[in-house]
Amino acid sequence: MSAPARSTGVWTAAAGSAAAEPRETASAPPRRRSARRRRRWTGLAFAALPLAVYAVVVLAPLVQSIQYSFFKWDGVSAATWVGFDNYVTFVTDPILRSTFGHVLVLICFFALLPIVLGLFSAALLTRAKQPGMAVYRWIFFLPQVMTTVVIALVFKRIYAPDGPLNQALRAIGLDSLARTWLGDFTWALPALGLIGTWVTFGFCMVLFISGTSAIAPELYEAARMDGAGPFREFFAVTLPGLRGQLAVALTLTMTAALRTFDLVWITTHGGPGTSTLTPAVALYKAAFQNPQVGLAAAIGVVMAVLCLVVALVITRVSERD
Amino acid sequence: MATTVAVVAGLALTMSACAPGGGGGSESSAQPSSISTDIASAGTVTLKMTDFWGSAEGKWIDQAIADFQKKYPNVTIDRTSEDWGQLNSTLNLQLQDDAGPDIASANNGWQSLGTLAKGGLVVNLDSYAKAYGWDSKVPTTIIRQNKFTTDLKTMGSGSWFATPMARTSLIGLYYNADKLKKLGIEPPKTLDELEVDAAKAKTAGEIPFQYGSLDGSTSALLGVQAVLADKNKLNDYVYDVPTVKASDVGMKEAVETVKKWADAGYFPKDFAGIDYQTAVANFVKGQGVFRWEYTGSLGLSTEQQKHFGYVQLPQSGGKTVGVGAAPGAMVISAKSKHPEVAAAFLDYLMSPAAGQTAVDLGLVPALSPDVKVPETSLSLTGESAAAKTLDSDDGYVPYFDWSSPTMLDTLGQNLQLVFAGKMDSGKFTAAVDADRDAFLAGQA
């Protein structure tokens, strides 16, 4: 049932592989091999308990979810085996299928837009060192440490018919643009997406700033000597140097978009109509409101697989030379 | 890669071999042959009870327990209270636990009560109904809400699996008495009068109906439907009779009516962006003349109860039909060791004494025609009168969303489409039928 929890697992794995791995030194003398092997077993013994916990808390529910997804089950009485029916329902039911489209829109707002903005602001901020930079970073990073529930409630207020956004628009004479943002079939999804942009933008920016500071200054010097302008410098030095950070940012923000739940649940419940319904919300409704545990499990499995694929593809692409 | 395939194939095999669930599937229809209603000689009994009531409702059940224990000093009832959503999502697990509750409050319909009955987790109460004469005490339209056929394919007939109580929760029309006085109009007595009053209110610059559709609120739609629908057909529709269609139960007319009100500007200007809580708060604050609402949901203080009234509009034929049900379906766990004592307590919860306790706490009474309502409370006077009429007219219709587990979503989503002009009433009723029929097909 816990697609979100599982996808965080995916990211830790991805980040873990990026961290420095202990390297085997080929020149180790042969007589020390058995000692090394013994040490490896000891290490494994130490890891046994956490591994066992991981198996019980993560792997067992994962396998169970996969199992449930092949049944029609109300959570109480005997389940009936339905093969791939739940998966077929997920991709053929027009309302459930539409959730994929909504997720694609959310990916634009959660991943692409913040990364572009983050790159741009990182490039601006690192070119000229300004006093008080830490304060900027702190302010833009703030949404990342706030609970989504709080953020959703704040934005629900901002987007309200008589909320600050509409008041501001009316104050500057743009009355025609004021609308019921979250109750509007066209604007509800982008409005939710922009909340995501606000949340992930600061994170991307901070990530990219730390990435650029790790790029060797000689590269910039060399580029400038060759007569590169700011744009050339950005595309030839900064961007390639940020490949690792880009991969992390993309993986995190895209999986965040894929499993959007609390934001939608608190603001619109998937409405108006089903225009902001996401797979995670559909999953929650199937699992906890309507007795369709099998369908909920199928949605969870598909989303977990998608998160895994996203993470794998991004890692592969970013590590290719 | 090959090992992965093998593992997956192995998993698939084990999965098909052992299906989840069905552990509790005991024979729920097994009943004791004779029922003792002599609780005083049952010895010392302790019952565990879990319910989803807080504040005034919590005080009501506490008082009922205290009174019952006074009557039978040999019985102790240990009560646990949980949040409504929390209990609904965990009750099936609690009832499978040997140390689980003997008595619990469930939610009617297939989502909760039907699922529990299917799983054999709750006792078939038919023999208790006979022993205590529930069939003659309770209006038929309320009895049906607690019944399922023993093959557990149909709701609304068959055996008792839960009991109501001397309280009810209705959908009806609240009005702001001060505003009516200012506008010089009497509380409406028919739907036509209500529409005339709404037009007057609009002309006077008031918001005729306080309403917000952001989270898909359906109380206005279902309140209007009960005034327009054929009572028996509407009951049958919800109770799984496939030949009755949504267009037979006033759904089309109800949708057209609320859409007409929306188009006429009878709702707040930006109602599509107003959520339920905000709409309730605005109404209590004095914005809006009328509001269709569930009883007990406005959270009126004793002082506010003097300024808000309640009417249950009758149908054009003169009889009153209203959406209403007990605010919980009381069940006895199949694992309970003292079902007879538990049944006696459920019987007590339906007594006039429990009804009077409800009124004294400001809650809407039911099954108690002779309760004394404090005259100063305008809203409670209206609510109690409505419940009394519905009891005597046997005029209850169940909450429409019991017809399928996904119905509440379907109604809310499609109503938003109707308000946005993206769907007409014909397509709306078709969507409602499609949802219900898909569910019925799955039941068969």
Residue A40: left if φ>0, alpha if ψ -120 to 50, beta else—which one? alpha
Q: Is residue A28 part of a domain?
A: no
- What's the rounded Cα separation, in Å, for the pair B375 and B356? 14
The secondary structure element, H or E, covering residue B401 is none
Q: In one letter, which amino acid is A132? A: G
Contact status, residue A215 vs residue A207, Cβ threshold 8 Å: no
- What's the rounded Cα separation, in Å, for the pair A192 and A155? 9
The pLDDT value given to residue A14? 38
> Once rounded to an integer, what is the mean pLDDT over residues A165-179?
92
Q: What are phi and psi of B432, to 5 degrees?
A: -65, -45
- The dotted CATH code for B43-168+326-372 is 3.40.190.10
Q: CATH classification of B170-325+396-443, choosing from 1.10.3720.10, 1.10.10.10, 3.90.1150.10, 3.40.190.10?
A: 3.40.190.10
The pLDDT value given to residue A7? 39
Do the chains contact at A79 and B21, CB–CB below 8 Å? yes
- What's the rounded Cα separation, in Å, for the pair B48 and A46? 45
Q: Is residue A21 part of a domain?
A: no
Residue A37 has pLDDT above 90, yes or no: no
Do the chains contact at A183 and B213, CB–CB below 8 Å? yes
> Once rounded to an integer, what is the mean pLDDT over residues A247-273?
92
β-strand pairing of B169-176 with B308-311: antiparallel
Q: What is the DSSP string of A183-212?
A: G-TTTHHHHHHHHHHHHHHHHHHHHHHHHH
B105 forms beta bridges with B330
The pLDDT value given to residue A191? 96
Q: Which of A275, A260, A101 is nearest to A181 (CA)?
A: A275
Instruction: Kindly state the DSSP code that residue B444 receives in the 8-state scheme.
Output: -
Residues in Cβ contact with B421 at an 8 Å cutoff, skipping those fewer than 6 apart? none
**Residues of chain B positioned with their CB less than 8 A from the CB of A74:** 21, 115, 118-119
B175 forms beta bridges with B290, B309
Q: Is residue A133 part of a domain?
A: yes
CB atoms within 10 A of CB A285: 22
At residue A208 the predicted structure's pLDDT band, cuts being 50, 70 and 90, is: very high
| Nearest chain A CA: its distance from B339 CA (Å) | 22
Which residue of B1, B15, B87 is the best one to mutate when testing the A interface, meaning the one whose CB has the most A CBs within 10 A?
Answer: B15
Q: Is the pLDDT higher at B150 or at A288?
A: B150
Does any CB of chain B come closer than 8 Å to the CB of residue A70? yes
Query: What number of residues does chain B have?
Result: 444
**Residues of chain A positioned with their CB less than 8 A from the CB of B11:** 63, 66-67
Q: Do domains B43-168+326-372 and B170-325+396-443 have the same CATH topology?
A: yes
| Nearest chain A CA: its distance from B408 CA (Å) | 10
When divided into structural domains, chain A yields a total of: 1
Residue A68's domain spans which residues? 3-14+37-319
Residue A13 has pLDDT above 60, yes or no: no
Separation in Å, CA A299 to CA A140, A286, A287, B423: 34, 9, 10, 28
Identify the residue whose tokens are 């006979």: B130
Do the chains contact at A71 and B19, CB–CB below 8 Å? yes
- Supply the CATH number for residue A129's domain: 1.10.3720.10
**Successive 10-residue mean pLDDT values, chain B, 444 residues:** 48 54 50 74 93 92 96 96 86 91 93 88 95 94 94 91 96 96 95 96 96 92 96 94 94 97 95 93 95 91 92 93 95 95 96 94 90 89 93 93 88 95 96 92 78
What is the complex's ipTM, to 2 decimals? 0.78
Say which of B22, B120, B273 has its CB closest to residue A180. Answer: B273
B77 forms beta bridges with B47
The pLDDT value given to residue A128? 66
Lowest average pLDDT, out of A17-31, A112-126, B353-367, goes to A17-31
For helices A164-171 and A148-158, angle between their N-to-C axes, nearest 10 degrees: 40
Residues in Cβ contact with A209 at an 8 Å cutoff, skipping those fewer than 6 apart? A122, A125, A126, A137
CB atoms within 10 A of CB B285: 9
Identify the residue whose tokens are 């959730």: A99
Does any CB of chain A come closer than 8 Å to the CB of residue B214? yes
Q: Which of B53, B51, B78 is nearest to B66 (CA)?
A: B78
Q: What are phi and psi of B167, to 5 degrees?
A: -140, 160
Does any CB of chain A come closer than 8 Å to the CB of residue B7? no
The whole-chain average pLDDT of chain A stands at 85
The pLDDT value given to residue B36? 81
Q: Which of B349, B219, B296 is nearest to B55 (CA)?
A: B296
Q: Is residue A233 part of a domain?
A: yes
For helices B55-71 and B352-360, angle between their N-to-C axes, nearest 10 degrees: 140
Say which of B12, B110, B273 has its CB closest to residue A181. Answer: B273
Residue A121 has pLDDT above 90, yes or no: no
The pLDDT value given to residue A1? 38
> Once rounded to an integer, what is the mean pLDDT over residues A256-269?
92
